[in-house]
Amino acid sequence: MRRTQGRRDKMLKWNRPICPRIFKKVEGNKAKAGACVAMWSGGGKFQVSVGGHAQYIVDLELRTCPCSARDLQGWPCVHAIAAINYKGGLNVMDFVDDCYLTTTYLKIYDNLILPMNGMDMWDKSDFPPCLPPSYSKQPGRPRKCRNKEEREHKGKMKMRASSNQAETALSHIPNT
């Protein structure tokens, strides 16, 4: 109950449109986007080059990038931010999924957890208290090793006494 109230109060003090952790990650991606060069190719598509060797086709209308970071995370990747900055007039925070918005976060914590009285104030029951299941020790020694598969060696592996056995077997052949 304290944790729920604390998180709700913390988010009420936050004055940004997205949650704090995601905000930091998007700001980190903004800093990295400076190393990317974006070129507009028509519509909402951009070709973003990173370091002159890697190229990504970013579609701002469909919100896609071949690196799949945006699909997995829900906020714009470095390449998408480079395209957004190139186009201008767009806010990077508008490309963050709705699940990371502070309004969505506050909706989660709108429901209150009602307080309860202590156990000493609960109504007494006529039934006996619930007991845990009885423990019975299994016969035999407990297992220490895992079960091996069919293709694995069952026994212990031992090395031969002589490691140079192959050399001694071929020693009678003269070198040519």
pLDDT (tens digit per residue) in 74-96: 999 999 999 999 988 899 999 99
Whether 158 is covered by a domain: the verdict is no
How does residue 144 score in pLDDT terms, banded at 50, 70 and 90? confident
Q: Would you state the pLDDT for residue 24?
A: 94
Q: Is residue 168 part of a domain?
A: no
CA distance 103 to 100: 9
The whole-angstrom separation of Cα 93 and Cα 8 is 22
How do strand 54-59 and strand 36-42 relate by DSSP bridges? unpaired
Cβ(12)–Cβ(107) under 8 Å? no
d(CA 59, CA 40): 10
For residue 43, being part of any structural domain is answered with yes
DSSP 54: E
- Structural domain including 92 reads 2-108
Residue 103 lies in a domain: yes
Q: Is residue 116 part of a domain?
A: no
The letter for the amino acid at 151 is R
Residue 81 contacts residue 33 (beta carbons within 8 Å) = yes
**Helix and strand tally (H, E) in the chain?**
6, 3
Domains held by the chain: number: 1
- Contacts with 162 (C-beta within 8 Å, 6 or more apart), sequence order: 168
pLDDT class for 168, splitting at 50, 70, 90? low
**pLDDT bucket at 30, cuts 50 / 70 / 90:** very high
- The percentage of residues in the chain with a pLDDT greater than 90, rounded to a whole number, is 44
Residue 63: left (phi > 0), alpha (psi -120 to 50), or beta?
left
Listed range (18-32, 117-131, 147-161) with the worst mean pLDDT: 147-161
Residue 124 lies in a domain: no
CA distance 105 to 99: 7
Residue 20 covered by a domain: yes
Summarize pLDDT for 102-135 with one digit per residue, the tens: 999 999 888 878 888 998 898 888 999 899 999 9
Q: Answer yes or no: are the C-beta atoms of 93 and 26 closer than 8 Å.
A: yes
Mention every residue, 6+ apart, whose C-beta is less than 8 A from residue 37.
48, 49, 50, 82
Q: Is residue 73 part of a domain?
A: yes
